[in-house]
Amino acid sequence: MMLVHTERFAEHQTPPGHPERPERAEVMDAVAARWKSRGVEVVPPSAATREQLLRVHDGDYLRRISETTGRAVKLDPDTYTSPESYEIALLAAGAAVQAVDQALSGQQRSALALVRPPGHHAERDRAMGFCLFNSVAVAAAHARANGAAKVAIVDYDVHHGNGTQHIFESDPHVLYVSVHQDPYYPGTGAVDEVGKGRGAGFTVNVPLEVGAVDEDYRTVFSTVVVPVLRQFEPDLVLLSAGFDAHERDPLAGMRVTTPSFAAMTAELRQVADECCRGRLAALTEGGYDLEALAASLDGAIGALNDPHAGPRWPSSGIESTRGRAAVDAARAAHRVFWHL
Ligand SMILES: [Zn+2]
């Protein structure tokens, strides 16, 4: 596997006390250095091009964000720019594109882009939830434009990726599967949001009640996420890797432990091995406890780097009541689309 990493993301600053704080960049720097010392290739990204961004964002929106260059601007109640943010967000989207190129090239079949700011809340024409450009959406559109007929996006960030869903909800070629805390920010991602028009069935939301544990995620992955992916048979798997479902995370209320992030990633790697010769490109989204972020990122990278590692789920000893309820609801909503 390969890591796409730039130290420049440190310069995307947010106000003191903001969860998307610069120290997250130091954690990613340390993780990249550690894997580099173990022989993993680490490359810097180039900025996403206007053409790549225009596949998922409005031209007028790109202009508005570009005008924040050199300025600190409050774009929405949670989302700020610093003078460098525009440039850094271009690098984040570019890193996701580069991870896709690596995965599709066949040389390195999996790649992870260490990026900030995150992207999955960014809408076609609106910054939201710390996100400026929807990097995973840019990556999916880039893959589609470069020969991938079907792209699956899996999002295990604890928040629903409203932007990603909305950008692809009418597109049957891009599957979006999200497991997230509900009710919670941003308020979208209900189980009956299944896609629109020709895209019906290709949005799969699995909302989970607050307090979900390792067993709940295991249940959801084995019963919904993996079976849907196998039936969809993607040419590329993309992963929005957020680590804020971790029990230590200060924002959300889930109780997931570190080994589950490796297990979820390993599940997706196995599906990619089965469906598309291991083509998997991941990028970071949220994750606001620095210790949990470092350990969970290590686990996810380890799962991508070891071709023989199967998923090793931890056990909390707590029964999967939330997971089973979520699976029942997803089965009912998707009865006509998938065999679950
Ligand atoms: Zn998040």
pLDDT value of position 308: 82
In this predicted structure, the answer to whether residue 6 has a pLDDT above a threshold of 90 is: no
Instruction: Report CA(119)–ligand 1 centroid distance (Å).
Output: 10
What does the pLDDT average to over 67-78? Answer: 95
Q: Are 314 and 214 within 8 A, CB to CB?
A: yes
What does the pLDDT average to over 74-88? Answer: 95
What does the pLDDT average to over 226-246? Answer: 98
* Calpha distance 279→152 (Å, rounded): 11
SS3 201: coil
In this predicted structure, the answer to whether residue 329 has a pLDDT above a threshold of 90 is: yes
Mean pLDDT check: name the lowest of 56-65, 75-84, 102-111, 165-174.
102-111
In this predicted structure, the answer to whether residue 232 has a pLDDT above a threshold of 90 is: yes
Banded model confidence at residue 10, pLDDT cuts 50, 70, 90: confident
* Calpha distance 183→334 (Å, rounded): 20
SS3 72: coil
Q: What is the pTM of this model?
A: 0.98
> Which stretches of 69-122 are assigned E, i.e. beta strand?
73-76, 79-81, 110-114
Share above pLDDT 70 across residues of the chain, in percent, rounded to a whole number: 100
In this predicted structure, the answer to whether residue 243 has a pLDDT above a threshold of 80 is: yes
Instruction: Report CA(115)–ligand 1 centroid distance (Å).
Output: 14
Instruction: Report CA(128)–ligand 1 centroid distance (Å).
Output: 12
Instruction: Report CA(194)–ligand 1 centroid distance (Å).
Output: 21
Q: Which amino acid does the sequence have at 163?
A: G
pLDDT: which is higher, 205 or 309: 205
Instruction: Report CA(127)–ligand 1 centroid distance (Å).
Output: 15
Catalytic site positions: 121
Tokens standing for residue 237: 């798997």
Instruction: Report CA(327)–ligand 1 centroid distance (Å).
Output: 21
Q: What is the pLDDT of residues 256-294, one digit of tens each?
A: 999 999 999 999 999 999 999 999 999 999 999 999 999
